[in-house]
Amino acid sequence: MYTISCTKKRLGHRLKPTRPSVACDQYSYLTGVDILCDSGVITYWIKYKLQGSGITLPKQLVSERYDIHPDFLQYEKIKPTLNPYILPIINSLLTWKLNSIPVPTGLIETRQPIKGYNDAPINVSILSPAPSRQPMPALVYFHGGAFAMQAAPHHKCLAFEYALRTPCTVIVVDYRLLPKATYPVGLFDCYSAYRWVCDNAALHNIDSDRIAVGGDSAGGALAAGVCLLARDRKAAMPCFQMLIYPITDKRQATASMQQFTDTPLWNSALNAKMWQMYLKNALSPVSYYASPAEAATLKDMPPTYVEVAQYDPLRDEGIAYAKSLENSGVPTELFETKRTVHGFEIAQHNEIVLASVARRVEKLQKAFA
């Protein structure tokens, strides 16, 4: 059931069903009327049962439609921009903010230039716990951001948590971004970074048999793509992959993708624009390395942990990807967080976030044991 704004009428004027003022392909029947008063003008809100998709509802109704935790609902009005002219400004601000975050006691951060796709220079940040006599496990992490945005402050704080609490060395990859770096640039930057970690494990006191990959959102797609590339190229396979509300399917045909057109922080309209930008220069047909859900088989992929958010357009494709992994014989764990939205870790002190981070650390510890 949806509530949609219709035409304004004067008080006492008989209401006649009218076509909703928002765009939709079909609507079926009138089920009720709500009356709201705004500055002395009576506004009728008509409840229609709708069919079709592409409906954008008034933002003030999000809290009524979804049981989102208040700590996440406060970000209702924040929507990432994918405007190519604004992205460089946003990424400059994010970089400035990241560089201002102090590294906690017990960690050492090293910035390392390496060669990315086609030998172009990229950087990685290496977060190393206190020196150990024994080689450490490592997590190669690919941050989210729609393939277009720099890592956010909460990404760096999460990397600190993984490094200190697992403990392990965390390598955060600064891969190239949209709008300039369309597919496959970012993915192959990430694969090059993973291979660099494997090749230089001894130099950084890393156990080459305990190198995992992980990522959130777009970073989840990159982590899955890196594993597929490693499998197909018969390279060293990560011992584990951690996929947090991952992007996995360019077809965007799931029920959650159709439903969540107005959710905080990420929605299906932004998702569609992201794919359009990301695949702008891709050859047809697009490889499953970009859209891992379309791989013919996921056999021989590493053990996997998948986590999804309840009110996220990516929810169902994450669940489907976990099931596909399991059906291919891959040891897979799926956890569906409740009352959450895409990127919910932005509320760093929320109890759901704290529990999720603890769970991820536990999965890493198990994978590295």
Say which residue the tokens 């793509």 belong to. 225
In a domain, 46, yes or no: yes
Same domain, 107 and 159: yes
* CATH number assigned to the domain comprising residue 114: 3.40.50.1820
Q: Please indicate, yes or no, if residue 75 is contained in any of the structural domains.
A: no
In this structure, is residue 21 part of a structural domain? yes
The stretch 278-291 carries a mean pLDDT of 92
pTM across the whole model: 0.84
Indicate if 178 and 288 belong to the same structural domain.
Answer: yes
The per-residue pLDDT for 49 is 34
Residues of the domain holding 190: 87-368
The rounded distance, in Å, linking the Cα atoms of 148 and 284 is 22
Q: Coil, strand or helix: which one is 91?
A: helix
Angle, CA of 104, 211 and 288, to the nearest 5°: 115
Same domain assignment for residues 155 and 95: yes
Q: How many domains does the chain have?
A: 2
Say what the pLDDT of residue 61 is: 61
Q: How far, in Å, CA of 345 to CA of 83, rounded?
A: 24
Residue 61: exposure state from Cβ atoms within 10 A (0-12, 13-18, ≥19): middle
Is residue 224 situated within a structural domain? Answer: yes
pLDDT digit string, tens, across residues 135-178: 999 999 999 999 999 999 999 999 999 999 999 999 999 999 99
Residues 241, 360 within the same domain: yes
The answer to whether residue 82 is domain-embedded is no
Query: What is the DSSP track for 192-261?
Result: HHHHHHHHTTGGGTEEEEEEEEEEETHHHHHHHHHHHHHHHTTPPPPS-EEEES----TT--SHHHHH-S
| Same-domain status, 271 and 158 | yes
Assign 283 a pLDDT band (cuts: 50, 70, 90).
confident
pLDDT digits (tens, 9 = 90+) for 18-76: 333 333 333 222 223 332 333 333 222 323 333 344 544 444 468 788 999 999 999 98
CA distances from 252 to 132, 166, 183, 313 (A): 45, 34, 17, 9
**Do 100 and 239 belong together in one domain?**
yes
Predicted confidence (pLDDT) at residue 11 exceeds the cutoff of 70: no
Instruction: Give the mean pLDDT of 249-255.
Output: 98
DSSP classification of residue 345: G
Same domain, 123 and 198: yes
In a domain, 43, yes or no: yes
What's the token pair of residue 228? 């597929």
Residues 176 and 42 in one domain: no
- 93 with 47, same domain? no
pLDDT at 263 over 50: yes
Asked, for residue 168, whether it belongs to a domain, the answer is yes
Is 65 contained in some domain?
no
Query: Are 49 and 117 in the same domain?
Result: no
Q: Domain check: are 134 and 16 in the same one?
A: no
Domain shared by 14 and 124, yes or no:
no
